[in-house]
A and B are shown apart, each in its own frame.
Chain A
Amino acid sequence: MTAQFSSTFAQSSHTLQARDLACVRGERKLFSNISFDLSAGDCLHVRGENGVGKTSLLRLLTGLSKPEVGQVLWNHELITKQVNQYHRNLLFLGHRDALKEEFSALENLQAYAALDGIDLPHEKALAALWRFGLRGRENLPVNYLSAGQKRRVLMARMLTRRAQLWILDEPFNALDVNAVALLEGLMAEHLTSGGILVLTSHQAIHIPNVKALDL
């Protein structure tokens, strides 16, 4: 049994737009005049040196922080005007894995599914974990897993979350060669089924139709 994307997204007309974004941290201006348009199937690779503001840009896009100047639009409407609607379509994975160490991989998936308001049957959660090589470890507390295995749990969450927009901060960290291939496959599936992907990474990514944004 392998877990696949259950369905392509009903309307694939979703768009994410950034208009003249600027970010200021303390006295320093990190970036300004960042604009882009992403529609279904687009992938944006944010590149730049350490400390140039990649994570800050991603957090602006999620709505966790507010831009100094500029706007973020989801389906041509400000994200601050439709927070819950936007968050329903959004999956953001940051530096920290946000997994509870006391919970098993399976319980972590289920706890997040309950929070995200998704119906996640037991078999589906198991299948997602198995697909990413966690067979036999699904009931082990997460603090017994290695950094790479925790990342694999997150990949299972990406699969089960069913969000149209993925915003991923350094998703390739701590992954071995096989896992990198698995993740790239997952991303390609997401894009072909009409999803949108924004990610930061210091390594080259092998997905078709990648737009690059250099900060």
Chain B
Amino acid sequence: MSALFAVVHRDLLLVARRKSEVLTALFFFVVVTSLFPLGIGADAALLRKIAPGVIWVAALLSTLLGLHRMFAADYADGALEQMALSPQPMVMIVAGKILAHWIVCGLPLVILAPLIGIQFDLDNSSLYVLMGTLLLGTPVLSLLGSIGAALTLGVRGGGLLVSLLILPLYTPVLIFGAGAVYANSVGLDTSGHFSLLGAIFILALAFVPWVSATAVKIAIE
């Protein structure tokens, strides 16, 4: 466990030193989601209808922006090698990196979501559901994304490849995340969506760190 916190502390401190990279991803999320209401105009009914999809797609893309950074810089300067040689299990180190990525790229989206939702004229209960799905869904995005980030280490043009590899894996999260907000807005029960999102999260949490740790080990061999 100490390894996990050591990595999270280190990665957050690094992010604090290079704020621009993180702010780019967040700014992207805000700008993209703000462009839709501006482009579509003041049709409140239409905006309410497209809001879940637009916000969720923007969330997927903005987490994707920060993904390549998860391992690439440490791989390039040899720090990843040193982590692999530390007396800590690689799984814990990778889990720490995933957690740090979520804190930086996922958590702010959850917090920003109500502000964005207001632009789409979402009511209070929809905003709560939106935040709830993002809270359950964004950790899955960071987890699944780590597989892509680890597999493309040392590959030229890896950033683009990550999107191709990972975006298809994101579709279940997108479907149930956006689906819950839509279901709530038409007065349907959302507990099924939340259960499925939770199940995906638990499954990802149970398997992904091991998969990513193996991929990282292969990359530095």
- Tell whether, in the assembled complex, residue A64 and residue B221 are in contact, meaning their CB atoms are under 8 Å apart: yes
Given A107-B13, A111-B6, the answer on whether A84 and B88 have CB atoms closer than 8 Å is: yes
- Tell whether, in the assembled complex, residue A100 and residue B82 are in contact, meaning their CB atoms are under 8 Å apart: no
CB-nearest residue of chain A to B96: A115
Q: How far is the CA of A103 from the CA of B77 in the complex (A)?
A: 13
- Tell whether, in the assembled complex, residue B220 and residue A64 are in contact, meaning their CB atoms are under 8 Å apart: yes
Q: How far is the CA of A64 from the CA of B219 in the complex (A)?
A: 10
- Minimum distance in angstroms from A29 CB to a CB of chain B: 18
B156 neighbours in A (Cβ, 8 Å): none
Q: How far is the CA of A111 from the CA of B13 in the complex (A)?
A: 10
Q: How many residues of B contact A (CB 8 A)?
A: 25
Q: Which of A65-93 contact B (CB under 8 A)?
A: 65-66, 84-85, 87-88, 90, 92
Q: How far is the CA of A111 from the CA of B74 in the complex (A)?
A: 13
Q: How far is the CA of A94 from the CA of B85 in the complex (A)?
A: 12
- Tell whether, in the assembled complex, residue B78 and residue A114 are in contact, meaning their CB atoms are under 8 Å apart: no
A103 neighbours in B (Cβ, 8 Å): 13-14, 17
Given A96-B78, A98-B78, A117-B88, the answer on whether A66 and B14 have CB atoms closer than 8 Å is: no
Total of A-B residue pairs, C-beta within 8 Å: 72
B3 at the interface (CB under 8 A from A): yes
Q: How far is the CA of A212 from the CA of B74 in the complex (A)?
A: 33
A97 neighbours in B (Cβ, 8 Å): 77-78
B95 at the interface (CB under 8 A from A): no
Q: How far is the CA of A58 from the CA of B89 in the complex (A)?
A: 21
- Minimum distance in angstroms from B93 CB to a CB of chain A: 8
Residue in contact with B81 in the complex, picked from A94, A107, A141, CB distance below 8 Å? A94
- Minimum distance in angstroms from B61 CB to a CB of chain A: 26
Residue in contact with B85 in the complex, picked from A64, A101, A107, CB distance below 8 Å? A64
Given A103-B13, A117-B88, the answer on whether A64 and B6 have CB atoms closer than 8 Å is: no
Q: How far is the CA of A101 from the CA of B73 in the complex (A)?
A: 11
B85 neighbours in A (Cβ, 8 Å): 62-64, 87, 90, 92
Q: How far is the CA of A112 from the CA of B6 in the complex (A)?
A: 9
A183 at the interface (CB under 8 A from B): no
- Tell whether, in the assembled complex, residue A94 and residue B87 are in contact, meaning their CB atoms are under 8 Å apart: no
A37 at the interface (CB under 8 A from B): no
A84 neighbours in B (Cβ, 8 Å): 87-89
Could you tell me which B residues sit within 8 Å of A by CB distance?
A: 2-3, 6-7, 9-10, 13-14, 17-18, 77-79, 81-89, 93, 220-221
Top 3 nearest A-B pairs (CB, nearest first) are A96-B78, A114-B6, A102-B17
16 sampled A-B residue pairs with Cβ under 8 A: A63-B85, A64-B81, A64-B221, A65-B221, A66-B221, A92-B85, A94-B81, A100-B14, A101-B77, A103-B17, A115-B7, A115-B83, A115-B86, A115-B88, A116-B86, A117-B86
